[in-house]
């Protein structure tokens, strides 16, 4: 059995030769008239029902909902830190509540890791960074470092 060797067949499915010329089996594709539809090359049209007007694509609505959730939690955290008050007005800071919101966003980030679009990940990462920096500034006694 070891002496018997079956011939191996290798098929080359590339359209072009190494020198860049079109292979003979693909010549007929190039010679078809430009105006004629190429039915055997083009995919069949979709048989799905069209979406109703005004309806967003499912992926974009999910992305929008996620971004809205992140922005809502971030706004709540900024408000809890007292950073959303009117200029000249001082609102009481709830650092424990702000910390809880930041922790929720961190949990959300860890649970959705590698499962978000770039835009969603970007919004979440930026919100966490800004919230953490604001929290550290409030809790580290930044008044001592001001001249």
At 121-140, the pLDDT tens digits run 999 999 999 999 999 999 98
Rounded CA separation 129/127 (Å) = 5
Q: What is the pLDDT of residues 4-13, one digit of tens each?
A: 788 877 777 7
Q: What is the pLDDT of residues 8-53, one digit of tens each?
A: 777 777 777 888 787 787 677 666 555 455 444 444 444 454 444 4
Confidence of residue 102 (pLDDT cuts 50, 70, 90): very high
For residue 127, the model assigns a pLDDT of 95
For residue 9, the model assigns a pLDDT of 79
Using CA atoms, how far residue 38 sits from 11, 25, 46, 47, in Å, is 25, 16, 17, 19
Q: Which DSSP string do the residues of 3-58 spell out, in sequence order?
A: S--PPP------SB-TTSPBPGGGHHHHHS-SSS--TTTSPPPP-SPPPPTTPPPH
Rounded CA separation 131/101 (Å) = 9
For residue 1, the model assigns a pLDDT of 55
Q: Is 80 exceeded by the pLDDT of residue 99? A: yes
Q: Is 60 exceeded by the pLDDT of residue 142? A: no
């Amino acid at each position: 059995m070891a002496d018997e060797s079956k011939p191996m067949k290798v098929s080359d499915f590339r359209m072009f030769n190494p020198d860049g010329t079109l292979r003979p089996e693909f010549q007929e594709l190039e010679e078809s008239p430009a105006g004629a539809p190429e039915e055997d090359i083009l995919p069949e049209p979709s048989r799905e029902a069209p979406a109703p007007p005004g309806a967003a694509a499912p992926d974009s609505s999910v992305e929008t909902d996620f971004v809205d959730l992140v922005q809502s939690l971030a706004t709540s955290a900024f408000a809890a830190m007292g950073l959303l008050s009117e200029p000249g007005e001082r609102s009481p800071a709830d650092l424990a509540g702000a910390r809880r919101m930041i922790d929720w966003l961190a949990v959300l980030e860890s649970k959705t890791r590698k499962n978000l679009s770039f835009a969603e990940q970007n919004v979440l990462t930026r919100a966490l960074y800004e919230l953490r920096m604001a929290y550290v500034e409030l809790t580290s006694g930044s008044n001592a470092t001001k001249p």
